[in-house]
Structures are given as C-alpha cells and as structure tokens.
Amino acid sequence: MNSPVLPAVPGAARKPVVLIAEELSTATVEVLGGDFEIRYCDGADRSALLPALADVDAILVRSATKVDVEALAAAPRLKVVARAGVGLDNVDVKAATQAGVMVVNAPQSNIVSAAEHAIALLLAVARRIPAADASLRAGEWKRSRFSGVELFDKTLGVLGLGRIGVLVAQRLTAFGMNVVAYDPYVQPGRAAQMGVRLVPLEELLSVSDAMTIHLPKTPETMGLIGEAELAKVKPGAIIVNAARGGLIDEHALYVALKERRLAGAGIDVFTTEPCTDSPLFELDNVVVTPHLGASTEEAQEKAGVSVARSVRLALAGDLVPDAVNVQGGVIAEDVRPGIPLAEKLGRIFTALAGEVALQLDVEVRGEITDYDVKVLELAALKGIFASVVEEQVSYVNVPLLAAERGLEVRLRTDPDSPDFRNLVTLRGTLASGRQVSVGGTLVGPRHIERLVEVEGFDIEIELTAHMAVLQYVDRPGVVGVVGRILGAAGVNIAGMQVSRDRRGGKALVAMTVDSAIPQAALDEIVREISAEDVRAINLDD
C-alpha cells in the first residue's frame, strides 16, 4: 500500500498529511478529498509505521495498528488518531490525551451488523444449521438428527439494553418473542416504551429460553456469567455472546453445554483472541465465528466514512462528536445548536476584553441544563482563544491553553431562565479588575443567534459576521454622527440598538454592518463622540 510522495511546490501552502495505516474503503478516501496529502503504510509493521509518522497530522487505523506511547512520540505533528471501528484496544487513549492528540472512533458504524450477527448465531444454534450443513456435505441425509426449536412465543433475555441490544430486541420482537432485559443503567420507563420488561439478572437467567449478551467489557462485567449464573439458567436455553470475550466464563460454559444443561451456544468473541483452539470447538451444540460482528461491507464502509469526516472536522479545529477524549462526552441534540453560539460569544468576549481574562464563568440557563452542557464551555473557550494564540485551537487543546494562561474557568448552570428559553452568558474578570460580560440566545425553530446582553446592557440584535459595540455618555446626536462616519467609509449599517442605564448616563450601541469597519473610521468615531470604548467584532475569519 505504498503511495508516491510528490515533491512540494515552492511557496505552496502545506496540505495536512493523513496517513492511512490499514486497508480502508475507497469511500473513505473520497470523503477526505483533495484537501489533504494522503499517504499509506502497513501499520502492523512497526519498522514502516514509526518513520512514516514523522510529519503526519492524522492517522487512520483499524485493529492491527498499535498507536501507543512510542508511536505518539514518533509523531510530533499528530493531531488526531482515527480508529475505523468501535473498539480502542489498540490505541493508548490516555497517552494520546496527554500528548494533546484527539482520538476518534466510529461508535455507530457496526451496530446493525453486530445485531444481525447475534441473531444469525441464535438462529444457527436453534436450527442446528452448521452441523446439518456439515452432515449433508459429508454425504448424509439425517433429517431427524437435526431437529431444532422455534423462536416464536419463546422468551428472549437481553443482557445490556444499549444501541445493539435495542436493535436485537426490536428485531426478535418481530419474531414473536417476549423480551426481558437486564441493564442496571436503563430506566424501566425507557424499556417499557420498547415493549421490554426490565428484570434482575437472576430472573432473566431463570425465565429466558434464549439469551444474548450486549454489555461493555468492564471490571464489573468480566465473568458476569459464570458457574453460579449458569446453574440458574432455564434448562434447554440457548446463549449467544457477540459482544466481548470474557463476559462468559468459557470453562463454565463448556461444562454446562457438555452436560446439556444448555441446549446450545453461539459465540463470536473469546477471552483471548485470536482463538484457534478451545474445548468449545469440540461440541456439536456450539456455533462459533472468529469475531465477525462488524465484518460486513456496510459496517466497514460506515466506519471509514465516519472517521474520515471526523478527521476533516478535527483538522479544521471544529467539534468532533465522536471524539472519545474530549470533555463533554456525548452531545445531546438539544445542546448542539448552542455550540456555534457559545463559540461566537467567546470571540465577542475577546474582542470586548482585548486580553485574556483571569477568571471566566460560563453560565448556561434554561431547559438545556437538563443535559450535559460541558461542551458549551469548550466552545466558548475555543472562541476566546481563536484570535489569541498562533496554534490551531481545538476542543482538545483549549483546556490546556486556558491553564497555560492562568484562566480559571467555571461552568455554572441554572434551570431558571426568566427572559429566554435558554441563555448562555460569559462573565469574566480582567487583570485590571474590569468586568466583561456578553450573553446570547437562540430564537425560533431555525435557531437564530441573538446577542442579548453586553457589559450589563440589555439589547437584542442578531449575530452577523461584522459587528461593533460603542460605549459613550448618553446625549443627543451620537447615532447620527456614527451613521455619517460609517456612510463616508462605505460601511452600511444593517441593524442597530441603543441601550442605556439612565437618561444622560452610560449608553451602549450594538450594531451589525455589512462589511468590516476600517480602523480609520473607528478612530474617527472615538474622536467625534468622545467614546469610552469602541470595539469592532469580526466573526467570519
């Protein structure tokens, strides 16, 4: 998989380098497009991988390439590791985080394939298909030997009601099965909406005619189904594990199958992999596959395309929803529209402050606080540092940038928002002791971004690419003077709002304009109206 590297054109801007270390679909490369220099290597060959990492910005891998401390040290420019799949066993996420490298995967890519494979194993065991196939190929016609069982009107026990478990439950409900589930992290009401009854593990074991496991591999779930649990299983039941090896004690499973306390098992994953020799292979009531849950063309293409999109976002410094080492975790759909708003408020804050604050509160009010809104803090910081530092600002490095600059950040939430459905406000203290604040909200079904508070003054004006904020002593004629100066500079005012604390007191004008205001015009405004402060805000760069 070697690709020629063309010589750089003198004076040409450097394209980010993306290293594809394992075979991925053509669609993956198409998503990356021509914006990147694409290189290839055999990631399983360390002697080829390590030197290839010297100047890459991103690496795409599957399961054979180990991205560990050594690999990270060999990649000083690396910004993102993309695993085209779900598991991250071959990526040292902690070391990547410490190195400021984003790690992304494709958590949704294989869920349909994994669910279908679990069901395939269940059907294969219930109807003894592999054994019947082998018998017939051997020249035998023994129909009575391979009598199976129907799934209709039987009870299915689902261990783990996550994304894959839900898909299995939905599909086998259509088979006419009665579904019960064990999952201590799911509310009974959510399960009931799917027609699934939550039960304790012991009850599930005793009532299920078939069980399928869809739990993550954690210290709590390792060996969850052992000798004691298998002793409680309903006689003649079938068990399927297409999730993670080690969730079932393989020796205890072998004994239960050998003694025919279990009718059969379908196993796709093993405690140690690759596994080419196991006592389970000796049993004719076991169907085994070599970890094929995600091995479909569709799943592999989805995984590659998904991480390619994430790489594009990451290298652009944008939010990557599938990043596993970004604070904020999974982002609720109701939170997403607020992300660009928070980032723009951060840019406005920096424009108003003219420096990095010592302390910053990111306040989030309203219905949105029912969700995890940590990402709004990150978005605000990304906006704050966008024009402050030379390096590219991302959701991974902004906490480090804040810490390096002594910025103490606090996220404050309050479900009470008297004036707006949701409100995001940034309040900061500068080294001089000056307080700076800016607040915004989203309006209507199209989530129109509105600036609703600046420096304690209530306003309401739509956010646009070019804006300005003026502070002065309230008196007649100021708006006319500002309009005249901007008109002479060829700058059209699109919108304007004036707010004041009292008649003849402090006043603030927030305006939107169709183009950037020249510095000469800003200087003239300061002189003509004796402005206390004039700040231009550009959100399109």
By annotation, the residues acting in catalysis are 244, 273, 291
Which residues contact residue 9 at a Cβ distance below 8 angstroms, ignoring those fewer than 6 apart?
none
- Amino acid symbol at 261: R
Q: In this structure, what token pair is assigned to residue 505? A: 């007191």
Which is it for the CA torsion 4, 9, 10, 15, positive or negative?
negative
| 317 φψ region: left (φ > 0), alpha (ψ -120 to 50), beta (else) | left
Q: Which of 349, 347, 346, 397 is nearest to 376 (CA)?
A: 346
The conformational region for residue 485 under phi > 0 = left, psi -120 to 50 = alpha, else beta, is alpha
Report the side by side order of strands in the sheet with 102-104. 37-40, 17-20, 58-61, 80-83, 102-104
The Cα–Cα gap between 206 and 208 comes to 6
Is residue 463 a contact partner of residue 539, using CB atoms and an 8 Å limit?
A: yes
How far, in Å, CA of 437 to CA of 346, rounded? 10
**How far is the C-alpha of 57 from the C-alpha of 171, rounded, in Å?**
42
| Nearest in space to 131 (alpha carbons), one of 142, 119, 116, 122 | 142
Report how far apart, in Å, the C-alpha atoms of 361 and of each of 228, 283, 409 are.
52, 63, 6
Element (H, E) at 397: none
DSSP of 184-196: TTS-HHHHHHTT-
345 contacts: CB under 8 Å, gap ≥ 6: 380, 383, 424, 425, 426, 438, 439, 440
